[in-house]
Amino acid sequence: MVQAVIDRFEEQKAVLLVGEAEQKVIFPRNCLPEGLQEGDYLQMEITYDREATTAARQEAAALLRELD
C-alpha cells in the first residue's frame, strides 16, 4: 500500500502527495470517497488486472486482423 495526503483541491481534481517522497499526482476528485478534505490521508492500493489486460489485448488483436 502507498500512503497519500490530499494537498489541495483544484476544481474537479485533487492534488495528492504520494509516498515518502510526496510526489505530486493529479487525481480525479470524483474517484475519491466523498467528504474528504485537504490534509486527509489516504491508503492507496494499485493492483494489476491480468484478466482485463488479456481481454483488451485479444480484442485489439482481433480488430487488427479484421483490418487485414
pLDDT along the chain (68 residues), means of 10: 96 96 97 96 96 97 91
Residue 68: per-residue pLDDT: 78
CATH number, domain of 29, equals: 2.30.30.140
Q: Which domain holds residue 27?
A: 2-67
> 3-class DSSP state for residue 19?
coil
Tally of structural domains, the chain = 1
36 vs 15: CA distance, rounded Å = 12
The predicted structure's pLDDT at residue 17: 98
CB 29 within 8 A of CB 12: yes
What is the reported pTM?
0.78
pLDDT of res. 35? 96
